[in-house]
Amino acid sequence: MELLDFFISSAYAQDAAQPGGLMSFLPLIIIFVIFYFLLIRPQMKRAKEHKKLVAELGNGDEVVTNGGLLGKIINVGESFVTVEFAENVRISVQKHAIASVMPKGTIKSA
């Protein structure tokens, strides 16, 4: 009988040694939180800022396109803007192709 009690008590001890359900998912949760704060949140912030920049585009703004071209906005449409890159050189580009708005006078100094 003592041998049977030994096996039963060691079986109970093995059950008690295993971590709970939440503790096994804790590393996964920590990794997700780290990814959120290091990757997802900053990307959402940049996207929100770019959306605001695109919404505030106006005639006369000096902009840089995603291709690196510096020009002045001549006309703003619903989804396209006409940008003048040089005298009589005007190109229509999508609003989302505008990378940044430069300070006034940037074209003259460039």
* Cβ contact 97:63 at 8 Å: no
Average pLDDT, the chain: 86
| Domain ranges (residues) in the chain | 2-53, 58-109
Q: Return d(Cα 24, Cα 32) in angstroms, integer.
A: 14
Q: Which CATH class is domain 58-109?
A: mainly beta
Q: 4 or 40: whose pLDDT is higher?
A: 40
**pLDDT for 17-63, tens place per residue?**
555 677 888 889 999 999 999 999 999 999 999 999 999 999 999 99
Measured CA to CA in angstroms, residue 8 lies from 1, 17, 18, 39 at distances of 11, 15, 17, 50
